[in-house]
Amino acid sequence: MRSRAESLEFALLGLLTQGPLHGYELRKRMIAIYGPFRALSFSVLYPQLHRMLEAGLIEESVSDTGGISRRSRIVYAVTTDGKKRFDEITHTSSSEALDDENFEVRFAFFGPTPRGNRIAILENRLVKLVERASLIRSAMSANAGQLPDGIDKYLHEWRRHSLDSVEREIAWLEEMINIEGKSS
């Protein structure tokens, strides 16, 4: 799951394993999950669906049930290959930390992800963020007081906020790991 195409494919497979949907509806679901910011545009979505069709991960079928004489919808459903691909990803564990975007995508489909991998994903991300926090801290102490007010006052404030933000996510991750540890 390195490229964006791959993570989009994963998200689409995840949505379609819950039931067949057409392109327009898939976009709405994506926005409902990930927010209007980073909205998925049609010119990315439709070509992606076509690629997945060719790869045999999904099947299409035309339906006219959209209304009296609305434009016919093209409904997509996962094939067994598509389901297999999705399960491969959710069931494969890796020691590399996911970046912001990929973590968000994977976390949204934690439901169908086995608990062992859920914890691994959370912990890998945690390690990465702890690193990032210490980098910010050392940057802050490196030029603490040594540079004049003008430029670095704001740099310092920004780092303070960045560090706070990272520490908040660390706390949240620990909370999530804790919940996973206790439940089923």
Partner DNA sequence: TTCGTCATGTAATGGGTTACATGATTAC
Partner DNA sequence: GTAATCATGTAACCCATTACATGACGAA
Residues at the interface with DNA (CB under 7 A)? 3-6, 8, 22-25, 28, 38, 41-44, 46-47, 49-50, 66-71, 73-74
Q: Between residues 10 and 109, which has the closer beta carbon with respect to a second copy?
A: 109
Contacts of 62 (CB under 8 A, 6+ apart): 72, 73, 74, 75
107 contact, one of a second copy, DNA, none, CB 5-8 Å limit per kind = a second copy
Q: Between residues 56 and 112, which has the closer beta carbon with respect to a second copy?
A: 112
Residues in the chain: 184
What separation in angstroms does the CA of 155 have from each of 22, 149, 159, 160, 175? 47, 10, 6, 9, 30
91 contact, one of DNA, a second copy, none, CB 5-8 Å limit per kind = none
Contacts of 65 (CB under 8 A, 6+ apart): 73
Q: Between residues 53 and 177, which has the closer beta carbon with respect to DNA?
A: 53
- In angstroms, give the least distance from the CB of 57 to DNA: 15
- In angstroms, give the least distance from the CB of 176 to a second copy: 7
> What are the residues binding a second copy (CB under 8 A)?
18, 32-33, 35-37, 104, 107-111, 132, 135-136, 139, 150-151, 153-155, 157-158, 161-162, 164-165, 168-169, 172, 176
- In angstroms, give the least distance from the CB of 154 to DNA: 24
85 contact, one of a second copy, DNA, none, CB 5-8 Å limit per kind = none
Q: Between residues 67 and 150, which has the closer beta carbon with respect to a second copy?
A: 150
Could you give the 3-state DSSP secondary structure of residue 62? strand
92 contact, one of DNA, a second copy, none, CB 5-8 Å limit per kind = none
- What is the helix, strand, coil percentage profile of the chain, to 5? 65, 10, 25
Residues 97 and 125: beta-carbon distance below 8 Å:
yes
Choose among 9, 13, 89, 3: nearest CA to 48. 9
- Residue 65, both tokens: 């049930």
